Amino acid sequence: MATAKSLQPRIFSSFLGDNNSFRSTQPLLHLFRFDSGRRHVSMQLSRTFSGLTNLLFNRRNVDEVIDGKRKRLRPGNVSPRRPVPDHITKPPYVDSRKVPGISSGLEIHDKKGIERMRASGRLAAMVREYAGTLVKPGVTTDEIDEAVHNMIIENGAYPSPLGYGSFPKSVCTSVNECICHGIPDSRPLEDGDIINIDVTVYLNGYHGDTSATFFCGNVDEEAKKLVQVTKECLDKAISICGPGVEYKKIGKIIHDHADKHKYGVVRQFVGHGVGRVFHADPVVLHCRNNEAGHMVLNQTFTIEPMLTIGSRNPVMWDDNWTVVTEDASLSAQFEHTILITKDGAEILTTC
C-alpha cells in the first residue's frame, strides 16, 4: 500500500472543459506530505476535493464513455466494516484510532525478524494470487474484499489496511483509471477492466505488502501493454537493488523504462520501508530524483511503481482515499516487499 508525498509545497490539479478551466484553489493533499528538505512527514486528511467529485460525476458526466470503450469510474456503495476476531493480533494504530505517519528509521532485521518477514510476505502473496482468481465480470470489489478478509483472518493474520486511519476495508481495489487506494464497493467488474489488488497482512508483528494488476475478461492490447510495462519497471528496479545502492537509482530505472514506452510515472505516491510498522523510512521515489540515501543489508522496503497511459496527475475523491487520473486514462501498478541481502535483493512477497 503506497504512501504519498509531495516534493513541492503545493500541488494543484486542473480540469479542462471545452473553453473553460476549473483549477482548485487548495493544495492536493494526500495521506502523507513529504518535505524532502526537512525529511519531514506530516498527516493530511482534509477533504481538499470536496465538491470536485461532484464536478467529475455530475449528471452530464456520470455515464461518460472514455475513448468509446468504458464508462468513467464512479463510487459505489460501501458495505459495513468487517469484524476481526479478538484473538487476532492487531497493529497498534487500530486500537489507538490515530492515523500513523511514516516512522523514522529503517526497518533492519535480525535472523528472527527476517523469518517473520518471509512468513508475512508469503501470506500476502498467497492472498494476492487468490484474490486475482476472483477477478471476473460481474464480481464486485466488495466480494473480493470479503474473500481477502476471510483468508487473512483464517491464517491468523490481520488485514493491515483495515482501520488504518479512516480506511474502511481490508484490501485496496483500484480499477481502470484508479491509481491507488480504491475502496472496495458494490461496483461489479466489467469485461475489459483492469484492477490492481493491493494486499497487506500483519502476521506475528510484521507487515507484508504487495500488489498486482489483473485482467478482467477480454482486455484490449493497450491495457495489456501498460500492465506488462509496469511489471517490467518493478522487475528492473528490484534487479539493481543491493547493499550500498542509492535509492535514487530505483526512480531512474523505472522512469527510463516508462519513458521508452511513453507512459507517465505517478510521482505523488511512493514505496516505503515496511516491517514492524506499516510505513517507515526510506521514502522510495519511482521517478528521477536526487534524494540521498543508500540500501543497507537486512533492511526491508517496498517498490511499487504506478504508470499511466495519459495524464500522471492524480485527483482524490471526496472519500479522502481513492485517487484517479485527472483525464480518466488507465493506470497500472505492481508492488513487492524486498529484503536487501549480501547478493542483492530477495523478493519476500512470492509464493
Q: Which residues contribute to the annotated binding site?
A: 181, 198, 209, 272, 279, 304, 335
Alpha-carbon distance 273 to 259, whole Å? 26
Alpha-carbon distance 32 to 218, whole Å? 36
Binding residues for a divalent metal cation: 198, 209, 272, 304, 335
The residue written with cell numbers 464513455 in the block is 65
**Residue 325, all three cell numbers:** 487520473
Alpha-carbon distance 168 to 197, whole Å? 15
DSSP string of 331-342, one letter each residue: EEE-BEEEEEET
Alpha-carbon distance 47 to 276, whole Å? 30
C-alpha dist (Å) from residue 41 to 10, 104, 287, 332: 14, 9, 19, 26
Binding residues for substrate: 181, 279
Query: Angle, nearest 10°, between helix axes 141-154 and 111-133?
Result: 140
Alpha-carbon distance 37 to 316, whole Å? 25
